[in-house]
Amino acid sequence: MERIPVAGPSITQREIDYVTDAATNCWYGAANKYHDRFESTFARYIGVTYSVALPSCTSAIHLSLAALGIGPGDEVIVPDVTWIASAAPIEYVGAQPVFADIDPQTWCLSPAAFARSITEKTRAVILVDLYGNLPQFDELLKIAKANNIAVIEDAAEAFGSEFHGRKAGSLGDVGVFSFHGSKTMTTGEGGMLVTNRKDLYDRVQVLRDHGRTPGDVSFFNQEVAFKYKMSSFQAAMGLAQVERAEELIARKREIFGWYHERLANMRGVTLNPEPAGTRNSYWMSTVVLDPSMGLAKETVIGRLAAEQIDSRPFFHPLSHIPAWRQTPAAARAREENVNAYAISPFGVNLPCGLSITEAQVDRVCSAFRAIVENHSSSAKRAA
């Protein structure tokens, strides 16, 4: 039986042609040809003024925090359930992450938990668009503004999602994207930082090139900073992918639609939400099981794997993983974040690579149904 991978890209002749051109021609004076085209096309698509192509989304978050001047003594609020990359850069700049609870409907930062987590040290919040889902931006942005808190929107997983006509990534002071190979649009590895703020854009340009202003040829660095650049092969790949943005997103939505048709009516199973006025680009088609079923994500993943189906665990709470478990911030989060601890243990990302077929989704859904039904009947027998 053919193994079904959990994620994967869509690569066409356009990507191959652009990357071949970059490898052949983009040296010397033409070295930045694809960076310029990729950045301007991406900015236009997202609806922002400035964009900077980077080696990863992690570096984009690091630069966002550094450009905002966040450092030791500052606190940055982050949802407890996300990939570690949303929060690790807070430590890179010497600030303190504060892990706040998620909302049971959106799986993103809860506005009430955000408000509760603010102290006089809070300088920024990182709003994560988890799996393509969007948080309640109206309330969150209002709270941030009232408390003079900078907003970094981590749209790593939400390329093409929309909140009342605004593209994910464009809602905060800074937005960041990932183009890792598993993402809806990819450059192999890569990221983008977007903003409408000229002050942040100018600062990022210096910080990402060892303290040099763009165009500097004197090699006379003004400060110690970072080296965060993308290669022209990646920029060429990125341009081809962003030119195909709507096609890629339509495909992700089609895949989710196949899952929705087959699983939405299962009792105790919740799929990614798409509240009125939003468009979900469904990076990961995800199921969350009702905790009362007692069916842990690890069990589901193991049983799917036995059927040659790859899947992934819903992110663990950051306050639970060894990287932070021993810290006082994590101990507080474990007591307070009831939604994070009710959802994360029972969530699974199902295979949704861009090349998956409807027949494969059918196979995944049959296997998933059988796992849930067998578990329910053995639980009944035991009772």
Q: Which of 82, 184, 278, 281 binds ligand PLP (CB under 6 A)?
A: 82
List the interface residues with ligand PLP, window 206-225 (CB under 6 A): none
What share of residues in the chain are helix, strand, coil (percent, to 5)? 45, 15, 40
| Beta-carbon contacts of residue 148 (< 8 Å; ≥ 6 apart) | none
Question: Is 90 a binder of ligand PLP (CB under 6 A)?
Answer: no
Q: Which of 4, 156, 295, 330 binds ligand PLP (CB under 6 A)?
A: 156
Question: Is 274 a binder of ligand PLP (CB under 6 A)?
Answer: no
Contact 277, 341 (CB under 8 A): no
Show the binding pattern over residues 13-52: x = contacts ligand PLP (CB under 6 A), - = does not: ----------------------------------------
* Secondary structure (3-state) at 129: coil
Q: Which of 64, 86, 122, 319 binds ligand PLP (CB under 6 A)?
A: 86
Question: Is 111 a binder of ligand PLP (CB under 6 A)?
Answer: no
* Secondary structure (3-state) at 70: coil
DSSP characters for 219-271? ---SS---B----HHHHHHHHHHHHTHHHHHHHHHHHHHHHHHHHTTSTTEEE
**Element spanning 149, H or E:** none
Stretch that binds ligand PLP, among 154-162, 258-266, 284-292, 335-343 (CB under 6 A): 154-162
| Comparison of 63 and 239: residue with beta carbon closer to ligand PLP | 63
Hey, which bits of 328-369 come out as E strands? 347-349
Shortest Å, Cβ 26 to ligand PLP: 22
**Residue 127: φ, ψ to 5°:** -95, 120
**Residue 294: φ, ψ to 5°:** 70, 25
Question: Is 58 a binder of ligand PLP (CB under 6 A)?
Answer: yes
Shortest Å, Cβ 128 to ligand PLP: 5
Question: Is 83 a binder of ligand PLP (CB under 6 A)?
Answer: yes
Q: Which amino acid is at 12?
A: T
Stretch that binds ligand PLP, among 39-47, 56-64, 72-80, 231-239 (CB under 6 A): 56-64
Sign of CA dihedral 14, 20, 25, 27: positive
Say which residue the tokens 């649009």 belong to: 185
Question: Which residues, listed in sequence order, are joined to residue 151 by a DSSP beta bridge?
Answer: 125
Q: How far apart are CA 295 and CA 191, in angstroms?
A: 36
Shortest Å, Cβ 190 to ligand PLP: 7
Q: Which of 52, 57, 65, 263 binds ligand PLP (CB under 6 A)?
A: 57
Q: Which two tokens stand for residue 83?
A: 């990939």
Q: Which amino acid is at 252?
A: K
Contact 211, 224 (CB under 8 A): yes
Query: Contacts with ligand PLP: how many residues (CB under 6 A)?
Result: 14
Show the binding pattern over residues 311-350: x = contacts ligand PLP (CB under 6 A), - = does not: ----------------------------------------
Q: How far apart are CA 14 and CA 157, in angstroms?
A: 23
| Comparison of 42 and 365: residue with beta carbon closer to ligand PLP | 42
Q: Which of 56, 136, 241, 319 binds ligand PLP (CB under 6 A)?
A: 56
Stretch that binds ligand PLP, among 63-71, 101-109, 152-160, 334-342 (CB under 6 A): 152-160
Q: 254 to each of 246, 257, 272, 285, how far by Cα in Å?
A: 12, 5, 14, 11
| Comparison of 64 and 278: residue with beta carbon closer to ligand PLP | 64
| Comparison of 171 and 263: residue with beta carbon closer to ligand PLP | 171
Q: Which of 9, 79, 191, 351 binds ligand PLP (CB under 6 A)?
A: 191
Question: Which residues here bind ligand PLP, judged by CB under 6 A?
Answer: 56-58, 82-83, 85-86, 128, 154, 156-157, 178, 180, 191
